[in-house]
Amino acid sequence: MSGELSHKSMKNSLERRILIFSLLALTLTIAVNTGFNIESFRRSYRDGILQRAQTFTIALKSQVEAVVNLGLPLDEIDGISERCQEIVQNDPEISYCLIENSSGLILYHSDTNYPETANVKYVGNLSPDVSILESTEMGKLYDYAAPIYDFDDKVAGRVRIGFRDEVLHQLIMDHLGSTILVLAAAFVVVFAMIVIFFRYDLVLPIRRLCGMAENLAAGEFDAKAPVLRTRELVMLGETLTNMANSLHDREEELSQNYQELEQTNLELQNSYENLGDLSSELGRSREMYRSLLDDASDAILVCDDNDTLVIANKAAERFFGQPKTKMEQSNYFSFLERIKCRDVERQFERHQTVQPGQSNETEIRFWRESDQRVLLGRATTSVIVGKDGRLVQIIIRDATREEEVRKNLERTASEMERLNQMKNSFLGLASHELKTPLTIILGYVELLMADREEPFDDDTLDLIRHISRAGDRLSVIVRDMVDVSLIDGQTIDLVSQDVDVNVLVQRAVDKAEDFIQQREQILSLELAKDLPLVKCDVERMIQAIGNVLGNAIKFTPDKGYIIIQTKLVYHPRKPEKFATDGIDGACALSEEPVPYVEIAVCDKGIGIAESEQEAVFDKFYEIGDVEEHSTGNVAFKSRGTGLGLTIVKGIVDLHGGTVWVESPGHDPKTMPGCTFYILLPAINPYA
């Protein structure tokens, strides 16, 4: 009786829900599909009418523009209204056709009942050419407009063709009736198929499976699943069959479980025995760890949670000069005090504050009593957290020798600095002491060469001229020594002026003209025009350019070529001495390219080896073999004091510029030549 009631209840509940759900799903599907079809039909039909309206509009526009381009005003063309009426008559779905001027005044129309502009309200647009209008007389309208251009390509008016939304509504209603009839018939057929399907393929098979489940509940484990056609229900039947087989085998499985439990107990006993073996292995591993610690070259200490030293290796015994038995089992703080470590409190605080996963590096300076020495160690502290608690490992590397080497290097550097200062002081003193007697000598020589009542004979005058030339050369050397001293001491005074670089080059060339003629060399000037001015000390910059030019004259053979070029280049900004927009007279640094004036002195001389191209600016670099020195200022390959290019670099650096040399190499036979570049910051003409 209860089975029948459950079957009836299932039938009433499941069938009713399935039918209601199917009815709702079909109704919703048909309604949505109908809505989409109607909207698609409406859009398609609307686009078709708009396409025709576009065709008529373009055709009418072309006709009107052809007449307007002849010069006839838009409002004086005949036959336009008739043409508009013809368009409306030929296509009954088009509601109106009109032409308006550029001000919106209607000039021609197809229907006198077309509402005036004041009675039409703009609603929106579908595209730039299609507008949606609202009229009190005609309702919603779709309006296609195209501008009319006159012979000056100005908008003279517009052609507008439109149709009413009511046309689309009527077509949709006609289409909707036939659609509803077809869908209603389809609805009935599909619903009937669904009812039949659910009744015979779902409800009846479920009822049979429920009967099988009731048999299983009653203890009939030999029940078989009914023959079913649906894959999922077949799987359910097979599952119920498997359940019955599982229940049948339950007692056998329980028996087997008891046997497995007994086997597990035996395995557990074996595990305890293996645990003892592991403990022994752990002890051997610990001994191996101790052996590795003892063999390590660095001192290693290990502390436990209570800051007690539990391990100390042999290297620690040698490094600290204390036996392992005395170090182990002692407090780390007491150990530091015992070895007279400096800053014991700070060392111990770092030891306690080190965190797991981090390492702490510090220096330990202590007194080793065994050999009465102060040693330095670099300690690395790390933490290991395990089941036995927190262990702190301290690895100390002997850095005493490194400290001694560092101090020796510092003493050497200090001594080198002192010697360099003594050298600079000697140069300044020597140049000062030479300058005074040299001035007296040159003064007396000038008096001897002046007009006298009793002039000297030719031999005597020749001797006096030799003395004068030698004095002048010595004066140049003394001046260079003074300049180097001023540059090294950063006490040189510069006078800022805005000047054309070409003028500086020309003045430097004028001073060297006699030497160029003496060597029969050819000097070519390639000076760019309209260069921006530079801010510099004129005399010092002429001195720098002259030194570079003199270097080119000396190392270029007789009748050789020398070229001086100037041009404007752009580089990132460097500090300038004469800038005013930065701190302490230096301009702010910038990565933006700024203008520089480049001076290039190119010669066809013996060249400079690549390894020496940076060293040529060092002091006294040119001294070399004393036998190669010449009394002549510009004799070929003659050597001087080696201060000329040093002064050039110092002067250019003080002006915020830079100087460098480029050369393929040194070869007195092929004469590869070299080029010295001087880069000076220009006054920005666009600032």
H/E segment holding residue 647: helix 644-654
Indicate whether 624 pLDDT > 50.
Answer: no
Of 477-491, 517-531, 638-652, 673-687, the range with the highest mean pLDDT is: 517-531
For 429, phi then psi, to 5°, come to -65, -45
Which stretches of 373-455 are DSSP H helices? 400-449
Does pLDDT of 381 surpass 90?
A: no
What pLDDT sits at residue 151? 80
pLDDT digits (tens, 9 = 90+) for 286-299: 677 666 666 777 88
| Residue 350: band (very low, low, confident or very high) from pLDDT cuts 50, 70, 90 | confident
Query: How far, in Å, CA of 650 to CA of 648, rounded?
Result: 6
Select the highest-mean-pLDDT range: 374-388, 444-458, 520-534: 520-534
Which of 260, 293, 326 is a domain's end point? 293
Residue 50 scores a pLDDT above 70: yes
pLDDT in tens, 388-398: 677 888 888 88
Q: Give the pLDDT band of residue 348 (cuts 50, 70, 90).
A: confident
Contact of 139 with 167, CB cutoff 8 Å: no
Is 408 in the same domain as 454? yes
Instruction: Determine, yes or no, domain membership for 377.
Output: yes
When the pLDDT of each residue in the chain is averaged and rounded to a whole number, the result is 77
Label residue 242 exposed, middle or buried (CB < 10 Å: 0-12, 13-18, 19+): exposed
Q: Cα separation of 515 and 518, whole Å?
A: 5
Q: How far apart are CA 335 and CA 309, in angstroms?
A: 9
Q: Are strands 534-536 and 590-603 parallel, antiparallel or unpaired?
A: unpaired
pLDDT band per the 50, 70, 90 thresholds, residue 426: low
Q: Taking the CA atoms of 484, 489, 491 and 493 in sequence, report the sign of the dihedral they define.
A: positive
pLDDT of residue 494: 81
pTM over 0.75: no
> In this structure, are 54 and 110 located in the same domain?
yes
Q: Give yes or no: residues 110 and 208 share one domain.
A: yes
Which range, of 143-157, 238-252, 563-577, 664-678, averages the lowest pLDDT?
A: 238-252
373-386 and 389-398 strand pairing: antiparallel
For residue 126, name the pLDDT band (cuts at 50, 70, 90). confident
Picking from 67, 91, 102, the residue whose alpha carbon sits closest to that of residue 162 is: 91
What's the pLDDT band for 387 if we cut at 50, 70, 90? low
The set of residues, in sequence order, having a beta carbon less than 8 Å from that of 436 and lying 6+ positions away, is none
Instruction: Please state, in angstroms and rounded to a whole number, the distance separating the CA atoms of residues 564 and 336.
Output: 73
Of 354, 381, 398, the domain-final residue: 398
| Separation CA 215–CA 220 (nearest Å) | 5
665, 609 in Cβ contact below 8 A?
yes
Q: Of the given ranges (197-206, 316-325, 429-438, 478-487), which has the lowest mean pLDDT?
A: 429-438
Same domain, 379 and 416: no
Q: Does 215 lie in the same domain as 167?
A: yes
Evaluate whether 591 touches 572 at the Cβ level (below 8 Å).
yes
Query: 456, 491, 526 — which closes off a domain?
Result: 491
Residue 394 and residue 406 in one domain = no
Residues 366 and 412 grouped into a single domain? no
202 & 326 share domain: no
- Residue 449 sits in a domain of what CATH number? 1.10.287
Same domain, 36 and 156: yes
Residue range 274-283: average pLDDT?
72
Structural domains in the chain (count): 5
Are 452 and 442 members of one domain? yes
Looking at residue 674, its pLDDT comes to: 94
d(CA 351, CA 382): 9
**Per-residue pLDDT at 82 exceeds 90:** no
CA distance 326 to 77: 125
pLDDT at 374 over 50: yes
Q: Which of 107-116, 249-258, 339-348, 553-562 has the lowest mean pLDDT?
A: 107-116
Inform me whether the pLDDT recorded for 577 exceeds 60: no
DSSP summary character for residue 7: H
CATH number for position 192:
3.30.450.20
User: Do both 118 and 222 map to the same domain?
Assistant: yes
What gap in Å lies between CA 193 and CA 209, rounded to an integer? 24
Average pLDDT, integer, range 376-385 = 82
pLDDT confidence band for 56 (50 / 70 / 90): confident
**Which pLDDT band, with edges at 50, 70 and 90, does 45 fall under?**
confident
The CATH number of the domain holding residue 643 is 3.30.565.10
pLDDT digits (tens, 9 = 90+) for 142-171: 888 889 888 877 888 888 888 888 777 777
Helix (H) / strand (E) containing 147:
strand 139-149
Residue 687 resides in a domain: no
Look at residue 638 and tell me if it is in a domain: yes
Q: Is the pLDDT of residue 623 over 60?
A: no
Q: What Cα–Cα distance (Å) separates residue 524 from each residue in 508, 546, 598, 637?
A: 13, 15, 16, 21
Are both 231 and 311 inside the same structural domain? Answer: no
Assess if residue 255 is contained within a domain: yes
Element (H, E) at 499: strand 497-499
Residues in the chain: 687
What is the pLDDT, as a whole number, of residue 489?
Answer: 66
CA-wise closest residue to 101 among 123, 117, 87, 119: 117
Which residue segment(s) compose the domain that 75 sits in?
1-248
Q: CA torsion, points 394, 400, 405, 408, in degrees to nearest 10?
A: 130
What's phi and psi for 422, nearest 5 deg? -65, -40
pLDDT above 90 for 507: yes
Residue 534 in tokens: 């530079």
DSSP code for 40: H
Neighbours of 667 (CB within 10 A): 13
